[in-house]
Each structure stands twice: as structure tokens, then as C-alpha cells.
Amino acid sequence: VPQRETHAFQAEINQLLSLVINSLYSHKEIFLRELVSNASDALDKLRFRAITEPELLADEPALELRLIPDEAKGTLTIEDTGIGMSHDELVKNLGTIAHSGSREFLETLAQKGQKDVQLIGQFGVGFYSAYLVADRVEVVSRAAGQEQSAWRWTSEAKGSFTVEPAERATRGTSITLHLKEDQKEFLGEWRLRSLITQYSDYVGHPIKLQVSKSTGTGDDAKTETSLEVVNKASALWQRAKSDITDEQYQEFYKHLTHDWEAPLAWTHFKADGNTQFTGLLFVPKQPPFDLDSQQQRGVRLFVKRVFIMDRCEELVPQWLRFVRGVIDSDDLPLNVSRELLQDSQVVRSIRKHLVKKSVDLLEKLAKDKPEDYLTFWKAFGTVLKEGLATEAEHKDKLGGLLRYESSREEGLTSLADYVGRMKEGQEAIYYVYGESRKAVADSPHLETLKQRGFEVLYMTDPVDEWAAQGLREFQGKPLVSALQADLKLQSTDEEKKAQEQHAEGLKTLTEKMKDVLQESVREVRVSDRLTDSPVCLVVPEGGSPAYLERLLQQRGR
Ligand code: ADP
Ligand code: MG
């Protein structure tokens, strides 16, 4: 007979629990959002597995969540008919932090203190928010397909938890919170209703609240309970835009991404052409604290409302990897595999649409909310620029989204604004690439451009020069690097003549210099580009651009 086992929490969990219990005072209600979010994920996972294993649904056909307050016992139970957890899963999922960023999380939480309890979901430790309101938590779970075994996980958050065999008639998980004395408000029907509406209305499964009604008086007094659906219970993206509030979009985004901040912008659309699908895409405000693992979340794929996979790389090009959201396709088969996705015409068509919608969304953001756009640009501009080198189709639009510092010294400018300011006789958009702003601003290469009053864009991001070469031109104006040997600046005939005479006069000097420098330079020539500095290095026609040189140097070539 299996016995009750006691397990110690991982050190990080203990630290986390002590923070949750002792220093987080505000927004305690977020525990409900986190537990409902987990239950919703568990239901999604079950529905996905049931596509190939329909027998998993046999013991309990309903896919739903139930909230059961019990005044007498002072408990609130959050139950779901989802995938459930086996013994080992209980121990692993509710006893260790799988997430690599847990240490950072603890540091952030400790620094920011009570205000940022909202962070908890982002770091993959949402479950422990139960201890904001409960001093004891009991989880009874039965994994789908495991007829015979249910397990109870219990902990008072004092360093350890226990696991023992339990009874549970059907698959799924019940989480019972023994509410702290001062947290009994979470038993109230209206409190629970309004929290669900506020935080969890996006959930595509029914959330049923157990409500009690008293009837009769005296000896006939009875309390009847019934379950009432308290959310819309349809996938948010399937609803009409006019029925969805900004707050609902934002809560859905938070559920999807674990981001605690609202997104900067979103777009919700239906494609009815050859491929039919619904999309809901978000642009986050800030890069996730661990870009790499969060990157994995990307866009979620649904097929006919059924959750298929979390990170569907096939739908999103690399340079849009910051985009979050869902795509729900009507055309893909439910049992779609990675291999199938890779050469699916449907996927290619969705991806194309998604790219266009994302670029349009950014254009709109840049136009309507320039401040927000700059926030986006600072967070993800580097990523977006990669698109210039790889995406021929949207080059013009992407060019319009670029922002650079310039010799105008007034913050970031768009290329369109730059072109609008171009001087008479200026044929090109000039830029200079270098390691830092300071290095480029003082570069002797700019002297003649500055003297003519030509603005120069400062590029200091390692991808910049590569991206600029991908773009080539904007609104018919070529992008020209100020480091190029021949800037092809127009001069009058007199100027040219004077220049030639000048060069003739210095011939002995330039020849001598070439003699000394030998193979280090291709050519030494007299230039009209310098006004204050005596000499500068330039890239000859056909020479490799500076960024490549730097790259090769770094690789020790
Ligand atoms: P996250 O949801 O970010 O993974 P949580 O701390 O909220 O982090 O949950 C930890 C893990 O516990 C989940 O990833 C999931 O595997 C498991 N879990 C939590 N609640 C449930 C549930 N109701 N049903 C099944 N598994 C659950
Ligand atoms: Mg969670």
C-alpha cells in the first residue's frame, strides 16, 4: 500500500513562498487568475491529446472549470476536468522551478517588493500565488488515462509538502485553498463573479460557479446549490470585435504570454480568402526578461478552436519573433504535425498574411502613437531590422518603420522625415556606421557632408549596416555610407578644376605615402571631403563594408 511521502521544496521555492507569504500585500486576488489560467491550460492540453486518444474523455465528457466556495469550511476549490497530474508530475510541477529564470525572478520580486506581485505568472510560478490567500493548499489530481490512481498533494508552505494516495472519481485536478482568516472575502459570490469577469473572461471553457440559495424557514430551511456559468465560455478571438473590451484583450494577452504589462498594440482579424483563419496578434511593450525561453512562446496555433501548439515557428518569420498571439485555422487538419506544417500551402498563406498584418499594425502604431512606437523601437528595433535583409516584399514599409539618431541631434528620426529635410542638390540618404554614437559623430568622414548641411544618420547597432544594405534605397533615394570612397557629391566645374590642381600639387606627397604604406592601402588620394582633419580611411569601390571587416576581425581573420 503506497504511503504518505514528505518532500522538501527546492530552495528557490522556499524563498519564493516566504516572499509570497510575508511581503506581498496588494493584488492578492491575482491568485484566482493564475489558478484559472493553469486549469484552462490543462483543459487545452487534454483536448489536444483527445484528438488522437478519444478514450481519454470517456470518464468525463465535459471540459470545464468549477469554482466551489464553502463558507462552513472556509475553503475555495478550483476544479478542472483537464489533463490532471500523475504522482511524479505533482512532485515535479508543484515542488521545483523548472524555469531557468527563477533566481532573477526572486531578485526582481525582492527588489520591487509588494507592488509587483503581478509578476508571478510571468516566471512560471503562478501556482504558488495560492499562498497569497491560503495557509494550506490541497491538490487532488488524477491524470487522464490513469484509471486507478489519484493523488493528494498538501502543503502549508513550511519547507515541505506531502503526497499520498487519494480518491477521485474522474480525471482532472481540484485545488482546495484553506483561506486565511482575513481572506474570506474570496468566498463571496459577487467577488468571485467580478474577478472572473475582470481577469478570466477570455477562457474558452465554461467556468461554473457554485452558488447557494436558501429556501424555507425554521425547520424547513434548506440550502440548495447549483452551478452557474459565469464567463462567456467561447474563445475570445472568435467573438465579434465589438463585444470585446480593451481590458479583455489585455487579460487574454497576459494569459497567453505571462507578461504582466499590457501590450502596446494588437490586431484582431479574420481572413476569408482561400485560407480561412482568425488571428489575434499583439506587440509587447518590453522584451521578456529571458528572451530566449520566452521567445519560444511565439504564436499559438489552434485548429478549429482546438489548441494545437504553443510555439509555432512556421507561422512567424524570425524578424517578427516578438509578435505574440493566436492563429486559429479552419483549414488545417486537427492532427497536424510539425512535418506537415513545414510544407503546407495553408501555413505559407497564413504566414504571409500574418507578416502583412504585423507590419500594418506597426505602421499604425507609428502613425497614431509615436511615443508608444518609440518604446517598441527601443525594445525590438534590432529584431525588426533583420527583416530588411530577408524580406524583399515589405522592404518599403519596413524602411518606413526605421528610426535612427542623426547629426541633427534631436532624437530619433524616421527616413521619411529625413527625406523631407533633404537639402537642395542632396541626392542620397547618408549614414555612418560605427561602434558608438560618439565614435560616429566625430568621424572625419562627415566633415564635407556636414559642411554642405547634409544630415547624416548615425548607425551604431551591429545589424545596422547589414540592414541598410538590404534596404538600399528609400523613396527613390539611395542609402549611401559616408565611409565610401566616392561620395559622388556634386561640385561645380571650378571646384573640380581647383581640386585637380590641388591633387597635382600634392602628388609627390601621396606617392610617398603609398610607398610607405604599401599593401596596407589600395590607394592614397587627395580628397575634397575633409575640411578639418588631415586624413581619413575610406572603403574603396567594391571593398567589403566596415561591418564585415569588423566581423572578420572578431573571428581573427
Ligand atoms: P506555469 O503555468 O507557468 O507553468 P505554474 O506555477 O502556474 O507555472 O504551474 C506549474 C505547473 O504545474 C504547470 O506548468 C502545470 O504543469 C502544472 N499544473 C498547475 N496547475 C495544473 C492543473 N490545474 N492541471 C494540470 N497541471 C497543472
Ligand atoms: Mg501558470
Q: How many CB atoms lie within 10 A of CB 156?
A: 15
| Crossing angle (nearest 10°) for helices 102-112 and 11-22 | 20
C-alpha of residue 53 to centroid of ligand 1, in Å: 22
127 is in an annotated binding site: yes
Report residue 402 as a C-alpha cell. Answer: 526605421
C-alpha to C-alpha distance for 423 and 455, rounded to whole angstroms: 9
Ligand 1: which residue has its CA nearest to atom 18? 38
Q: Where residue 112 falls among pLDDT bands split at 50, 70, 90?
A: low
pLDDT digits (tens, 9 = 90+) for 64-102: 999 999 999 999 999 999 999 999 999 999 988 765 556
More confident residue, 59 or 494: 59
Report residue 505 as a C-alpha cell. Answer: 600639387
C-alpha to C-alpha distance for 551 and 545, rounded to whole angstroms: 10
C-alpha to C-alpha distance for 506 and 196, rounded to whole angstroms: 82
pLDDT digits (tens, 9 = 90+) for 155-177: 999 999 999 999 999 999 999 99
Q: What integer is the mean pLDDT of 222-226?
A: 89
Amino acid at site 279: G
Residue 56, C-beta contacts closer than 8 angstroms, at least 6 positions apart: 46, 49, 50, 144, 145, 171
pLDDT at residue 521 is higher than 90: no
Q: What is the largest CA-CA distance in the chain?
A: 120
Q: What's the pLDDT at 107?
A: 72
277 is in an annotated binding site: no
pLDDT at residue 480 is higher than 50: yes
- For residue 429, the cross-strand partners are 479
Q: What's the pLDDT at 546?
A: 64
Ligand 1: which residue has its CA nearest to atom 11? 93
Q: What's the pLDDT at 318?
A: 86
Q: Is the CB of 38 under 6 A from ligand 1?
A: yes
| Ligand 1 atom, smallest distance to 172 CA | 24
C-alpha of residue 127 to centroid of ligand 1, in Å: 6
Q: Where residue 294 falls among pLDDT bands split at 50, 70, 90?
A: very low
Q: Where are the alpha helices (DSSP H) in 153-288?
A: 189-199, 246-257
C-alpha of residue 121 to centroid of ligand 2, in Å: 6
3-class DSSP state of 94: coil
Indicate which ligand has the atom closest to the C-alpha of 77: 1
C-alpha to C-alpha distance for 257 and 546, rounded to whole angstroms: 39
Residue 446, C-beta contacts closer than 8 angstroms, at least 6 positions apart: 407, 432, 440, 456, 482
| Ligand 1 atom, smallest distance to 94 CA | 12
Residue 402, C-beta contacts closer than 8 angstroms, at least 6 positions apart: 381, 385, 388, 414, 415, 467, 471
Q: Where residue 438 falls among pLDDT bands split at 50, 70, 90?
A: confident
Q: Is the CB of 85 under 6 A from ligand 1?
A: yes
What percentage of the chain exceeds 90 in pLDDT?
48
More confident residue, 53 or 124: 53
Residue-averaged pLDDT of the chain:
86
Sheet order of strands, 429-433 included: 413-414, 403-406, 456-459, 429-433, 477-481, 473-474
CA distances from 431 to 183, 341, 444, 546 (A): 61, 41, 13, 12
Q: What's the pLDDT at 557?
A: 47
Side-chain-side CA neighbours of residue 517 (13 Å): 13
For 276-296, b where at least 16 C-beta lie within 10 A, e where not — what string? ebbbbbbbbbeebebeeebbe
Ranking 96-105, 121-130, 406-415, 531-540 by mean pLDDT, the lowest is 96-105
Q: What integer is the mean pLDDT of 215-229?
A: 87
C-alpha to C-alpha distance for 419 and 455, rounded to whole angstroms: 10
Confirm if 101 and 120 have CB atoms less than 8 A apart: no
pLDDT digits (tens, 9 = 90+) for 499-514: 777 778 888 888 888 8
Q: What's the pLDDT at 116?
A: 60
Q: Hunting for cell 511593450 — which residue is that? A: 285
Q: Where residue 336 falls among pLDDT bands split at 50, 70, 90?
A: confident
C-alpha to C-alpha distance for 238 and 292, rounded to whole angstroms: 30
pLDDT digits (tens, 9 = 90+) for 257-282: 888 889 999 999 999 888 899 999 99
Q: Is 49 exposed, middle or buried (0-12, 13-18, 19+ CB in 10 A)?
A: middle
DSSP state, residue 240: -
Instruction: Out of 86, 92, 93, 256, give the residue to mutate to test ligand 1, the one with the largest number of ligand atoms within 8 Å of its CB.
Output: 93
Q: Is the CB of 125 under 6 A from ligand 1?
A: yes
Ranking 108-117, 362-371, 385-394, 470-479 by mean pLDDT, the lowest is 108-117
pLDDT at residue 381 is higher than 50: yes
Residues in the chain: 557
C-alpha of residue 63 to centroid of ligand 1, in Å: 17
For 408-419, b where at least 16 C-beta lie within 10 A, e where not — what string? eeeebbbbeebe
DSSP state, residue 484: B
Ligand 1: which residue has its CA nearest to atom 23? 39
Q: What's the pLDDT at 515?
A: 87
Q: Is the CB of 206 under 6 A from ligand 1?
A: no
Q: What's the pLDDT at 158?
A: 94
Q: What integer is the mean pLDDT of 41-63?
A: 92
Indicate which ligand has the atom closest to the C-alpha of 40: 1
